Amino acid sequence: MALTMSTNQALLDAQLELWHNTFGYIKSMALKSALDLRIADAIHSLGGGATLPQVVAAVKLHPSKIPCLRRLMRVLAATGVLSADQSPSGGGEPVYALTPVSRLLVGSSQNLAPFTAMILHPSFVAPFLELGTWFQNELPEPCVLKHTHGLTLWEHAGRDATFDALVNDSMVSDSQFIMDIAIKECPGAFQGISSLVDVGGGLGAAAQAISKEFPGVKCSVLDLDHVVAKAPSDSGVQYIAGDMFESVPPADAIFFKWVLHDWGKEDCVKILKNCKKAIPPREDGGKVIIIDIVVEDGSSNLKHTETQALFDLYMTLVNGMERDEQEWKSIFFQAGFSDYKISQVLGARSIIEVYP
């Protein structure tokens, strides 16, 4: 009898885990709904706490949707996007408040709403509905995004101004968030240099952050023509239209934030060889600075491990990949570099300094 109960419990636990993974996309879509409805902004404007009727009034929903909103709020609370505490005055309705997660979706600084909106945009979600079909194609094949939409990410951005703005705004929000932390946690990476080129730096948020903190460093951004054409004119950063596969402008340091993971090994080696030509020797301050994921095996932080694994699969969108230390090392040495240093100070990401 005890064995049967144990077996049944194991089956039920397995079913629960299966359901938890199967319905995982509902968590993402609930978060997208919260962004679309600006629920976090509404709660923030109400002083950081609000009852359901207050949220309904703030986001201007039709009264018929109140019961459905209650269910959405329950999911947001269960997944840690919001907190829900019983109202001190009673009445049965909880008071919803922001958590550290939802505080990243409001305000003017460290606001990751644009990045989250890009990840959850239908253009980026739809390709994963065809991931199984994509895997059945023989190599080489188009990336998952082109498999679905007929265009690569960069082709789409070059032809569609709205899509381009979605991507650029998301990268700006991520740069504003992560660069403040990177400069505080690893200032030595940016010290001892007089010039820096941010390759693939978009609208220049990362370069602007470096320039502001280290005014003695002349910062430039290298990106494609259509990106540079939309760059701000009063940022204090120079913008250069070009192609990193052709050449990289000379500087003491070349900087990449979330760029190299977009490309395969051969492309990364080619890009880094161009960087090596552009920088001085190590004793004169020459180096490449990379912000990217360094996949860790056997991390005790399960959420950290899962997030890195999810990001790695996500990069099939552009035929990119996340790499462990040995994979990065192989690229660096094949490109002609002699040494590197990894600083794991950015959560799931790291700062890598690569020396000629």
Question: What is the H or E stretch that residue 346 is in?
Answer: strand 339-346
The 3-state DSSP class for residue 315 equals: helix
* Block residue for tokens 């194609």: 137
The structure tokens listed for 216 are 């003695």
Backbone angles phi, psi at 322, to 5 degrees: -95, 155
CB 252 within 8 A of CB 194: yes
Alpha carbon distance 122, 99 (integer Å)? 26
Select from 307, 284, 297, 294 the least CA-distant residue to 343: 294
Residue that has been written with the tokens 């419990």 in this structure: 9
For residue 261, indicate whether it is catalytic: yes
Task: Assign 43 to helix, strand or coil.
Answer: helix
Q: Looking at 20, 149, 261, 304, which residue is catalytic?
A: 261
Which residues 6+ apart lie within 8 Å of 319 measured at CB?
142, 143, 264
Residue 276 CA: distances (Å) to CA of 79, 201, 283: 45, 18, 14
Going by C-alpha positions, the residue among 138, 126, 144 that lies closest to residue 319 is: 144
CA-to-CA distance for 223 and 242, rounded, in angstroms? 6
Q: Taking each helix axis from N to C terminus, what angle separates 205-213 and 161-185, rounded to the nearest 10 degrees? A: 30
| Spatial CB neighbours of 79, under 8 Å, sequence gap ≥ 6 | 27, 30, 31
Question: What is the set of active-site residues?
Answer: 261
